[in-house]
Amino acid sequence: MLWLTEDANLICAHQTGAVTGFSPSQSYVTVSNRRVLIAPDTVGRSIAACNMVPPLGKPCTKTLSVITGYSGLIKINGQSVCMDNLTGMVDAPAPPYTVRLPGQQLVVTDT
């Protein structure tokens, strides 16, 4: 699995909403000069342009808790590294958000 960086592309389950506003909580571990995301960097972020509209449903606007995708082995400053299998809840009755692109293709780990 690939590590996520601040350039990762995460999307809501409707395939249109993009997670925005990453503010990596650490700056000393990078891949190609881009900061690696750690727990909970993907939580509480805005989701822009979800195409779900009432009365069909509520659009996804914010990421909530992570379901899976934190490394069980690799930690930075005591926090788990975010992996490309990351999924998490959204603030709408919808399936989890997922990773479209991890933001880098160099650093891989098994867990």
pLDDT band at 33 (very low <50, low <70, confident <90, very high): very high
Residue labelled with tokens 């603030």: 91
Q: So where are the chain's domains?
A: 9-101
pLDDT digits (tens, 9 = 90+) for 4-26: 999 999 999 999 999 999 999 99
Q: H helices within the chain, ranges in order?
A: none
Closest CA to 66 of 36, 34, 98, 30: 98
DSSP structural state of residue 22? -
Do β-strands 79-90 and 97-101 pair in parallel, antiparallel, or remain unpaired? antiparallel
pLDDT of 40-49, one tens digit each?
Answer: 999 999 999 9
Q: What is the pTM of this model?
A: 0.94
pLDDT of residue 57: 85
